[in-house]
Amino acid sequence: MTHSVVELFEIEPAIIQVKMHDRVHKNAFSQELTDGLIQAFEYIRNQQSYKAVILTGYDNYFASGGTQEGLLRIQQGITQFTDDNLYSLALDCKIPVIAAMQGHGIGGGFVMGLFADFIILSRESVYTTNFMKYGFTPGMGATFIVPQKLGFSLAQELLMNAGNYRGAELEKRGIPFKVLPRSDVLEYAAELARELAEKPRNSLITLKDHLVAPLREQLPGVIEQELVMHEKTFHQDEVKTRITGLYGS
């Protein structure tokens, strides 16, 4: 299966790779990228042979979060981030998902990767939950999954300060993920996928269901709370000014 900005590669009979390469938007969540990701995971859901998914980007971009147009539409009350559920694609996938974040993970793009079962970062790349940079509170399940995966103290810092962190810096801060040179991320992901593929598919699905059940159960309530916060914070004039003035900086 090939979408114009999302490609699926069957690396081996039991391993499939989802590659995002919207070069025009630098893997921000354009409608084309959004549709491609949803279609890709729907395709994977309907296949019975795969045991592992590798989700990755291109060059030095993993995923860049909302487009300027998309953020402005939310700010104006036209849409909500829940209209296209990208954040839980990896969590809802039956089989294990490896986020091979070889490039920058920005805002919702980083958050989307954190919902994967296995996470690999690159030392050179920037990772940020930069929602507050634009003046609105985090969405995409960030207030839930960032503390779950990084620990409360570091997550509070990332979410409130909205700073940029190189993978090498996060490694020094003790994050529980593999951090490698960018050129090694995809190869390591493939090795991990091969190890997973040695296990029976039914056992992988059963164990993932068990391990992520608390996350799946709690996430809807968190999303509702994030939407309430968005009603309080997203529609301010200052947010519109920040989106138009700071986007891409």
For residues 85 and 102, what is the distance between their CA atoms, to the nearest angstrom? 23
Nearest CA to 63 out of 71, 53, 74, 55 is that of 55
Residue 86 near residue 34, CB atoms below 8 Å: yes
Contacts of 69 (CB under 8 A, 6+ apart): none
Contacts of 106 (CB under 8 A, 6+ apart): 63, 64, 65, 126, 127, 128, 130
Strand 126-128 and strand 165-166: the pairing is: antiparallel
User: Which three-class secondary structure state does DSSP give residue 194?
Assistant: helix
For residues 113 and 118, what is the distance between their CA atoms, to the nearest angstrom? 9
Alpha helices in 76-200 (DSSP H): 89-92, 108-114, 142-150, 152-161, 167-172, 182-197
Answer yes or no: 104 catalytic. Answer: no
- A 10 A CB-CB count for 39 gives 14
Q: Which of 104, 210, 230, 235 is catalytic?
A: 230
Q: How would you classify residue 158: left for phi > 0, otherwise alpha for psi between -120 and 50, otherwise beta?
A: alpha
Which residues participate in catalysis according to the annotation?
Answer: 230
